[in-house]
Amino acid sequence: MGMEEKYIQQFKKGAYEMILLSLIAQKETYGYAILTEIQKQGGEIFAFAKEGTIYPILYRLTKAGLIQYRLVPTKANGGEKKYYSLTGEGKDMLEKMKNFWEIYKESVDAFLKEEENHE
């Protein structure tokens, strides 16, 4: 993995939790639907999201008490699907993340624009 890919991975890792929380905030949903939504909306950055990326984050967010799930029987194979929703804590965290993201974006952009002005 080159230097560039490493940076990209780090950026994506931080953003994924926020993206997952905001998708789940919109409606109660399950893992595979989240994955396809991310692939559909993800542009060139997140279009190649994989189950191996999404499911561990869902697990982590559940463990952190930010999302919860209920088990719904599936008709197909008699298994169960986990339907995720945000907890109160998850809603608060998403708000904080959104606010931080706005400030973060503006701060970083200010430096990048500064750079362009000097050229």
pLDDT for 119 equals 63
Segment 34-48, tens digit of pLDDT:
999 999 998 888 888
Q: What is the pTM of this model?
A: 0.85
Q: For the segment 63-106, what is each residue's pLDDT rounded down to a tens digit? A: 999 999 999 998 878 899 999 999 999 999 999 999 999 999 99
In three-state secondary structure terms, 51 is: helix
Taking only the tens place, the pLDDT of each residue in 7-26 is 888 888 889 999 999 999 99
The residue with greater pLDDT, 109 or 116, is: 109
| Residue 118, CA atoms < 13 Å, CB-side half-sphere | 6
